[in-house]
Structure 1
Amino acid sequence: MTKHTRRKLLGLFVATMFVALCWFTPIHQLASIPQELRILQGTSTALDIGLHSFATVTTSEPAVVSVAGSPEAKVASRLKQPLKIDSGKTGSADLQVKLFGMIPVKSVHVNVVPDLKVIPGGQSIGVKLKSSGIMVVGYNLVKSGNDSISPAEQAQVKVGDIITAIDGRKVKSVEEAAEWINKAGKAERPLEFTVKRAKQIMKLKVKPIFDKDGETYRIGLYIRDSAAGVGTLTFYQPDYGVFGALGHVITDVDTGQPIGVGEGQVVHSRVTSIDKGESGTPGEKRGIFIDEDQVLGSITRNSDFGIFGKMESLPDNAKVRQAMPVALAEQVHEGKASILTVVEGQKVEEFDIQIVNVMRQKYPATKSMVIKVTDPRLLSKTGGIIQGMSGSPILQDGKVVGAVTHVFVNDPTQGYGVFIEWMLNEAGVKTKTSAAS
């Protein structure tokens, strides 16, 4: 046999062994272990490393992560179950898997994050939101002599702009703006508007003109300073004294622009009727504000993930009054689940749903899962997911996993949900290791 032939045979042998190892079940199990892992503080998880007869697992930080109760664990051949990984204090540690105690074959970085619990909501709430400035929602032509013009439009003020100040003074209401505009008109001088447009801040000069019909000075704009509606409370976190609701941003009804929070309140609400959803026509909860003098919470943030703010105590009519653990994004799975929501009066009820698809999101995004209503009672009453149901908490395996956000217009039985973890982050309740003190 020539030297060249021996090399070819050796190469073929190595290639064959490599393919065989790739198909070897323990190697498959080892490869499937993630390089990074998160565990809630005080809980355990399991790793099936496959190489039961040959492997040793060690941890770099026993106080953070322990392996089978010790800093080092030899995986015995009799151990047929996955290896138990216990979490201690918050922080991070590295798990090292070695063959025969010497050959490193796998490293897993483990983060132990604070064990968070929330009280799931489901209550119908009334939302009152005052914008940080006044919103431009349209143009209004003002009669001046033989012409009808909009001075603000001519000054390049755009629909969707937020007027945050007039002549350097913060403007908080439509009434305040109208008073300043009329005074400037009488003095025959222009106003300097500080305008927020997307992420830009600009200053524009607008001179009011006298409106003969209204007998006052105007600038030719339709403006708005507030919004109100009915939604659903997602959670109350008693340790932080915060709440989250809706699961999506509040936008202006005319411009579609997100409303910046100047101030806002959450109050009690009662569902008075239901418009059932059908394909192509989303349904809707109809409700009214009640006991408006009893403010449940103050709104401090309006983001893509909902509204958030301060709340001193759990609102009335809660179905669940004890805090429940939350699921990290990677713990949510397809299968049976339920939602808490109100379809009549103020009674919070639990309804069955199915999580049919879970998006594996490393970073916050609003469409985290696809859900389907399966409960015959809810389908009969609402047709599925309807407007006003946004924010209804989603429960699975005894944990709060997310909130309802949107309905599929062509199939009201289905819609989207957002992970509760993303909402907690927006509320200032961080699910990161750095949140520990």
Structure 2
Amino acid sequence: MDFRKKKVLVLLLAVIFLGLGLQLPFQTLRNMPLHQHVSVGDSIDYDINLPEFLTNQFEFNIDGVKPSCFHLGQTTPVAAKLGDLKVEVRLFGIIPVRQMMVSVVPEIRVIPGGQAIGVMVDSEGVMVVGRSAIIDEKGERHNPAAEAGVELGDTLIKINGQKVETESQVRALIDKMGQLKKPLSMEFKRKNTKEHYHTKISPIYCNETQRYRVGLFVRDSTAGVGTMTFYHPESRSYGALGHIITDIDTCQPINLNSGKVVGARIEGIRMGKKGQPGEKLGVFRAEEQISGNITKNTNCGIFGKLDKDPKNLYSKTAIPVAMASDIKEGPAEIYTVLKDNKIEKFSIEIQEIIPNGKDEGKGMIIKINDSKLLAKTGGIIQGMSGSPIIQDGKLVGAVTHVFVNDPSRGYGVLAEWMLYTANVLPKHVSKRKNEQFDVRTNVAC
């Protein structure tokens, strides 16, 4: 066979190999996050669970250094010092197919939570949770707010230039301007956006309530029971719930104005069933030695600072927080309260890790397999949100959502995401300087 024919054959085989054998590796590489974090001294595992003959076709170049014989599917030591590493994946060690950044961050230790907490939130402005027709003295029906384009989930920020914070304040201003026969200049924030809009609405006298109304139901606060995830003693920062607080009627995120957390006691459990989530039945108890503010309401949970160290702990020992790259599928544990204020440990399984789910706060799929917990709750229930997930002695995340049709399974948020949101872990560790890195190339082959 002459050289030209041999070259064509090699190219043909390469195309077939790339089109069939490497389709899954390429898809997996595309799904890898562009920016990962590891604690200083830890390693990164790029194992994608493929046959060795496939994974060996990919090699890594780390910060311009090619670790000897390092291929996809192996674990490599990373920088011994803080900073950023540029990681490039190459096919056959030649063709670049993926570039990623790895940030080496300080190891953070926190005290795992599990305590039941009462959560009280006051919204920015008042949220529109309903609309209703107004029947005037002539028996005619009106809804001026609906006609003005106000939607459920919108937030009323100001009336006639005056900030509004409570339901009673809104009710009084509407009635006052109605008696003066003057229209209201109202400023709203549109649901799911940052857009503000202004409209003028003329109140109508309601024969049923005997006061002037515009046809809206509003709510200024919400409260419920949840679970604390972690406490960082050095900064007194905490994280809880693992998901954003939404309005019960509109399911829209609450724009936080202020809020606080207090201790709670669990006095009962309503078991979860298929199609019917269960819940913890608790009462707020200030004497439970937990009190603090709420400064953030996010997709990764609520965050703030405690007034003092919590007394009710499963363990007083601070444990490391796992970065996303440390977490693996397999057995883990959660801490939560089922009765009074006693924190207990229960076994679960991490079934899937979702590194790109940060926007929704869904970083893993978990399954409850502890027979005691299943017998008491039926699985994941409301009020369990925020229960810390521990794996190999590290905090890896928190319980967040339940699968309605399978209460034994649900989602968890990654602890790394919670730490960044809480500002416990800095987003930018240091400026990039090549001399900061100590990339080890003595990987055994």
CA distance in 2, matches of 1:231, 1:342: 10
- Give the stretch that moved more between structures: 343-352 or 295-304: 295-304
CA distance in 2, matches of 1:220, 1:44: 59
SS in 2 for 1:381: helix
- Counterpart position of 1:178: 171
CA distance in 1, matches of 2:67, 2:128: 65
- Counterpart position of 1:6: 2
- Counterpart position of 1:204: 199
TM-score, normalisation: structure 2: 0.78
How many residues matched? Answer: 400
Structure 1 position 188, deviation (Å) = 1.5
Structure 1 position 395, deviation (Å) = 0.5
CA distance in 1, matches of 2:149, 2:95: 64
Determine which structure has the larger strand proportion and give its number: 1
After superposition, the CA RMSD in angstroms is 3.7
- Counterpart position of 1:376: 371
Structure 1 position 110, deviation (Å) = 4.6
Q: 2:156 aligns with which of 158, 163, 174?
A: 163
- Give the stretch that moved more between structures: 387-396 or 84-93: 84-93
Q: Give the conservation status (yes or no) of the 8 Å contact 1:364–1:422.
A: no
Q: 1:152 aligns with which of 121, 137, 145?
A: 145
Q: Relative to structure 1, is the Cα distance of residues 48 and 158 closer, same or farther in structure 2, using a 3 angstrom cutoff?
A: closer
Q: 1:127 aligns with which of 101, 112, 119?
A: 119
SS in 2 for 1:425: helix
CA distance in 2, matches of 1:92, 1:316: 38
- Give the stretch that moved more between structures: 226-235 or 362-371: 362-371
CA distance in 2, matches of 1:187, 1:46: 69
Aligned amino acid, residue 385 of structure 2: S
Q: 1:187 aligns with which of 177, 180, 186?
A: 180
CA distance in 1, matches of 2:408, 2:66: 50
Structure 1 position 151, deviation (Å) = 3.0
* Runs of at least 5 residues in structure 1 that lack an aligned partner in the other structure: 23-31, 51-56, 62-70, 76-81, 98-102
Larger Rg, first or second structure (1 or 2): 1
- Counterpart position of 1:65: none
- Counterpart position of 2:226: 231
SS in 2 for 1:146: coil
Q: Residue deviations 1:45-69, cap 9 Å, x none?
A: 378999xxxxxx99869xxxxxxxx
CA distance in 1, matches of 2:33, 2:243: 32
- Counterpart position of 1:412: 407
- Counterpart position of 2:272: 277
- Within a 5 Å distance, the mapping from 1:36-55 to structure 2 comes to 40-45=38-43
SS in 2 for 1:327: coil
SS in 2 for 1:297: strand
Q: Relative to structure 1, is the Cα distance of residues 165 and 352 closer, same or farther in structure 2, using a 3 angstrom cutoff?
A: same
Q: Confirm whether residue 345 of structure 1 aligns to residue 345 of structure 2.
A: no
Aligned amino acid, residue 152 of structure 2: V
Structure 1 position 17, deviation (Å) = 11
Q: Residue deviations 1:236-290, cap 9 Å, x none?
A: 2223332211111211111111111011110111111011112222111111111
CA distance in 2, matches of 1:105, 1:142: 69
Q: Give the conservation status (yes or no) of the 8 Å contact 1:421–1:431.
A: no
Q: Give the conservation status (yes or no) of the 8 Å contact 1:115–1:325.
A: yes
Structure 1 position 158, deviation (Å) = 2.2
Q: Residue deviations 1:212-233, cap 9 Å, x none?
A: 4433322222111010110111
TM-score, normalisation: structure 1: 0.80
Q: Confirm whether residue 262 of structure 1 aligns to residue 274 of structure 2.
A: no
Q: Give the conservation status (yes or no) of the 8 Å contact 1:139–1:221.
A: yes
CA distance in 2, matches of 1:257, 1:59: 43
Structure 1 position 166, deviation (Å) = 0.6
* Runs of at least 5 residues in structure 2 that lack an aligned partner in the other structure: 19-27, 53-59, 432-445
- Counterpart position of 1:54: none
SS in 1 for 2:400: strand
Q: Relative to structure 1, is the Cα distance of residues 215 and 295 closer, same or farther in structure 2, using a 3 angstrom cutoff?
A: farther
SS in 1 for 2:173: helix
